[in-house]
Copies of this chain bind each other. A is one copy, B any other.
């Protein structure tokens, strides 16, 4: 399937700031624990097992599109899949997140991060993308973890509040840090190119924890590597989304990394985000996922406030400011989709 088949969809056109019909909407983690149909097919064991099974992974990818009528699907996978596939030794523990067996500590650990050959290392990802794209009538978004966020898991050994080991490496051994980031950028590029090749119509680079950095740290140690990933994928022509949480202070720098779309969490008003990111880019966001737990009325009011802050700017994709929380009520999310489709405005330019 061609990754350009959906160039006329609302979603892809919004990424490119082209005129389109309705404000497109999808949700980060829309495929996941909040859905009963997900829990029914997910099975026991590591999420990495479910990801390695294209039957299940494609089905899970499609579920939220069927249920919500969202304007895009996102591949069911995980940002640590490439590192896992090259044998780094990482698992995803339910309720915890990625956990690595032996932390990245020294130069010798670089050899644990060889190049990814998607066809032989992650054939299941390619197969899942193919099957999902074949069955979908909306664009599929492929994704990868940005080098910094993946590095944080490998260096800390798991989820971290302060990312202290990662920052210590970043400032304590700059040469090793950049070598590590280079390897992780290579993994992300190889994985994303394979997903686009298999039919993904857009990609998202998740730098979820980039907001833990000061603007100086981000500029010096992180931005160049994310920019390289985005640039490599740019050659495919599919739109690129660049996302992180708590990134208010670095939105301008993230915008400068080159993606067509910058993701914004709920802490920044969209109009303020637009000023920081600058003209020519689209935004994605930014309803507080906690408001979905607060019930239909709160979620609807929140969605309307997001739409109002966007006005009728065509460069806008509605999403949450972070992933769907597991305890979310799917009916509330369905109502949010309805509000966005019914009330979102897109001006013709």
Measured between beta carbons, the chain B residues less than 8 angstroms from A305 are 216
Mask, A255-295, CB within 8 Å of B = 1, is: 00000000000111100100000000000000011110111
A290 touches B249 (CB 8 A): no
B211 touches A294 (CB 8 A): no
Question: Is A214 close to B, CB under 8 A?
Answer: yes
Known interface pairs A171-B298, A288-B214, A298-B172; A164-B267 also in contact (CB < 8 Å): no
CA distance A267 to B165 in the complex (A): 18
Known interface pairs A164-B325, A305-B216; A171-B294 also in contact (CB < 8 Å): yes
What are 28 sample pairs from A and B whose C-beta atoms fall under 8 A apart? A162-B289, A162-B290, A163-B290, A164-B289, A164-B290, A164-B325, A165-B293, A167-B290, A167-B291, A168-B290, A168-B295, A171-B291, A171-B294, A172-B294, A172-B295, A172-B298, A211-B246, A213-B267, A214-B269, A215-B269, A216-B269, A216-B305, A217-B288, A246-B246, A248-B267, A249-B267, A249-B269, A249-B272
Tell me the smallest distance from the CB of A254 to a CB of chain B, in Å.
14
Measured between beta carbons, the chain B residues less than 8 angstroms from A162 are 289-290, 322, 325
Near B by CB (< 8 A), chain A positions 84-137 give: none
Measured between beta carbons, the chain B residues less than 8 angstroms from A290 are 162-164, 167-168
Tell me the smallest distance from the CB of A169 to a CB of chain B, in Å.
8
Question: Is A1 close to B, CB under 8 A?
Answer: no
Nearest B residue to A164 by beta-carbon distance?
A: B290
B327 touches A164 (CB 8 A): yes
Q: Kindly list the 10 A-B residue pairs having the minimum CB-CB distance in the complex, ordered from nearest.
A: A167-B290, A168-B294, A164-B290, A171-B298, A171-B294, A164-B293, A248-B248, A172-B294, A214-B266, A249-B267
Tell me the smallest distance from the CB of A204 to a CB of chain B, in Å.
20
CA distance A298 to B165 in the complex (A): 13
Tell me the smallest distance from the CB of A326 to a CB of chain B, in Å.
10
A164-B290, A168-B294 given; 11 more Cβ-contact pairs under 8 Å: A162-B322, A164-B293, A167-B291, A171-B301, A171-B302, A172-B294, A213-B267, A216-B305, A248-B267, A249-B267, A249-B268
CA distance A167 to B294 in the complex (A): 7
Nearest B residue to A214 by beta-carbon distance?
A: B266
CA distance A214 to B215 in the complex (A): 20
Measured between beta carbons, the chain B residues less than 8 angstroms from A216 are 269, 305
CA distance A50 to B114 in the complex (A): 51
CA distance A164 to B326 in the complex (A): 11
Nearest B residue to A266 by beta-carbon distance?
A: B214
CA distance A247 to B332 in the complex (A): 29
Tell me the smallest distance from the CB of A282 to a CB of chain B, in Å.
21
Measured between beta carbons, the chain B residues less than 8 angstroms from A217 are 288
Tell me the smallest distance from the CB of A311 to a CB of chain B, in Å.
16
Tell me the smallest distance from the CB of A210 to a CB of chain B, in Å.
11
